[in-house]
Amino acid sequence: MVPIESYIKRRQQLASQMQKGVAIIPTSPERVRNRDCNHPYRFDSYFYYLTGFDEPDAVFVMILGDDINETKSILFCQDKDMEHEIWNGFRYGPESAKEFFSIDEAYSISSVDEVLPKLLAGHSRIYYSLGQDDAWDLRFTGWLNQVREKSRSGLSTPAEIYDSRILLDEMRLFKGTEELQLMRRAAKISSRAHCRAMQVTHPGMKEYEVEAEFLYEFRKHGAEAPAYTPIVAGGANACVLHYVKNSMELKSGDLVLIDAGCELNGYAADITRTFPVNGKFSSVQKDVYQLVLSAQSAAINTVQPGNSWDMPHTAALEVLVQGFIDMGLCQGSVDSVIESEDYRRFYMHRTGHWLGLDVHDVGEYKQDEKWRLFDSGMALTVEPGCYIRPAENVPEHFWNIGVRIEDDVIVTNTGCEVLTASAPKSVNEIEELMR
Ligand code: GLY
Ligand code: MN
Ligand code: MN
């Protein structure tokens, strides 16, 4: 876990951007998987970012008075309950949570419907993320209505609801030192898992057997879970962008595309590697692979402070399109193929996304209608690909080749740091590791 002082700083940073008012940040509810079994619990990223508290059924509240020195942090959380803890494990309870997480006041979640409306009364502005969760939205409107009902006794109802995400997304976009350390570790664990996959994969194995190696490596090294459902896609399956069945046999002569990364203390890694099931690229596989690798290298070179968000995508696209033309997959000039979007038959996604507590992390991609500029502390993926489905106008030897190469990168003061560099990606490195 990130030191408590960092959470305190984040709360101060939030307060410094608020006007007088109340911020309400609930955590995620538990979700039923089937009958009386829940999905493994995952906290809300905003809530966790401000508190470090990972229990369900909790709300964080931040009140800002007339000036910044009048701030108060409040946590509503589950009570201690020995009977419940015998079955389901430890709970902090309000008293210990207040101490451990350095929160000013803590109350039982069972009192939230009674206490929160009183806290809202007299404030004109509420910071809340409407539309994120229907059940919390309903409770939120209930709290506001309770205040309205008191208006005859002179209490004013908050008039303005400001989306808390506007402040928090911008904070989360710039990672602090401890966050970067966690992201480096998540990237390292995930890179090791990709190495292991290259070492164990052989023809006749099932995709799910390779997936199992990832789950093993993630848990073995302390990651909570995969950051998203792993994709292990052999042969034609690599051309299905969100293939997650992972149920087929891996065949000699095919490539396998693996998109898998772990979540560590809430922080995601997101890596894709593509390699030959039998350990040796065929000539045409190598051509497509080298093209994607060159596109990725061109894209990574543009990740530096001052460059715009669009530059990695544009750089990758130009290399890919030139390659598509050289290989006879597209006709015309680079500009005309980009203009007509004919390349989208083989490359239909963008080249990356912000990365952090969420695998597709928060943060605006544009500011004032312009692509935003990279700045140190931002974290993103760089993930060009090429997916060639069978089609009449595509030479048959290309059919069913799907390649993506994805790395995690942070912007530094002078350029960038590739967090996932220890997962091999040159043809030689991969063939060497698989031998
Ligand atoms: N693994 C999700 C993505 O690459 O965006
Ligand atoms: Mn990604
Ligand atoms: Mn990915």
Domain boundaries, the chain: 4-171, 174-434
Answer yes or no: are the C-beta atoms of 188 and 389 closer than 8 Å.
no
- Kindly tell me if the per-residue pLDDT of 154 is higher than 90: no
Exposure of 93 in the CB half-sphere (CA atoms within 13 A): 10
For residue 270, indicate whether it is catalytic: yes
Quick check: is 406 catalytic?
A: yes
**Is the alpha carbon torsion for 306, 308, 313, 315 positive or negative?**
negative
Angle at 284 between CA 283 and CA 287, to 5 degrees: 90
Per-residue pLDDT tens digits for 161-206:
999 999 999 999 999 999 999 999 999 999 999 999 999 999 999 9
CA distances from 420 to 189, 220, 347, 410, 417 (A): 9, 18, 23, 10, 9
CA–centroid distance, 384 to ligand 2, in Å, is 10
Instruction: Give the containing element (helix H, strand E) for 145.
Output: helix 134-149
Exposed/middle/buried for residue 431 (C-beta within 10 Å: 0-12, 13-18, 19+): middle
Q: What is the pTM of this model?
A: 0.97
Confidence of residue 358 (pLDDT cuts 50, 70, 90): very high
Q: Residue 224 Cα, ligand 3 centroid: separation in angstroms?
A: 18
- CA-nearest residue for atom 2, ligand 1, is 270
Burial class of residue 153 (count of CB atoms within 10 Å of its CB; 0-12, 13-18, 19+): exposed
Question: Torsion angle, CA of 142/146/151/156, rounded to 10 degrees?
Answer: -70
Residue 365, Cβ neighbours under 10 Å: how many? 12
At 69, the pLDDT band (50, 70, 90 cuts) reads confident
pLDDT in the model for residue 267: 98
Q: How far apart are CA 114 and CA 104, in angstroms?
A: 19
Q: What is the pLDDT of residue 86?
A: 98
Ligand 1 atom, smallest distance to 260 CA: 1
Question: Considering 35, 36, 67, 392, which one is annotated as catalytic?
Answer: 36
H-assigned helices in 38-92: 45-51, 82-88
Model confidence at 152, pLDDT cuts 50, 70, 90, reads: confident
Residue type, 247: S
Ligand 1 within 6 A of CB of 259: yes
- Residue 155: what pLDDT? 80
Nearest to 411 by CA among 305, 309, 313, 308: 305
- At 156-173, the pLDDT tens digits run 889 999 999 999 999 999
Q: Provide mean pLDDT across the span 370-378.
A: 98
**Percent of the chain with pLDDT strictly greater than 90:** 96
> What's the confidence (pLDDT) of residue 68?
79
For residue 150, what pLDDT is reported?
Answer: 86
Which tokens sit at 174?
A: 């710039």
The answer, yes or no, to whether any atom of ligand 1 lies below 6 A from the CB of 359, is yes
Alpha helices for 267-400 (secondary structure H): 283-301, 310-326, 334-340
Superfamily grouping for domain 4-171? Creatinase/prolidase N-terminal domain (3.40.350.10)
Q: What pLDDT score does 176 carry?
A: 97
The span from the CA of 228 to the CA of 98, in Å, is: 32
User: For residue 103, how many other CB atoms are within 10 A of its CB?
Assistant: 25
How far, in Å, from the CA of 111 to the mean position of ligand 2?
A: 41
Atom of ligand 1 nearest to the CA of 272: 4
User: What confidence tier does 151 reach under pLDDT thresholds 50, 70, 90?
Assistant: confident
Judging by beta carbons within 10 Å of its beta carbon (0-12, 13-18, 19+), is residue 171 exposed, middle or buried?
Answer: middle
Nearest C-alpha neighbor of 26 from the set 74, 96, 79, 65: 74
Identify the pLDDT of residue 157. 84
Q: What's the confidence (pLDDT) of residue 1?
A: 74
Ligand 1 centroid, distance to 347 Cα (angstroms): 15
Mean predicted confidence (pLDDT) in 355-374 = 98
User: What is the crossing angle of helices 427-434 and 283-301, to 10°?
Assistant: 120
Mean pLDDT of the chain: 97
**Residue 228 near ligand 1, beta carbon < 6 Å:** yes
Classify residue 427 by burial, with Cβ atoms within 10 Å: 0-12, 13-18, 19+. Answer: middle
221 flagged as catalytic? no
**What percent of the chain clears pLDDT 70, i.e. is strictly above it?**
100
- 174-434, which class in CATH? alpha beta
pLDDT in tens, 285-314: 999 999 999 999 999 999 999 999 999 999
H/E stretch holding 275: strand 272-276
Determine contact, residues 190/216, Cβ cutoff 8 Å: no
Tokens at residue 190, please?
Answer: 């995930």
Average pLDDT of span 218-245: 98
The ligand whose atoms approach the alpha carbon of 352 most closely is 2
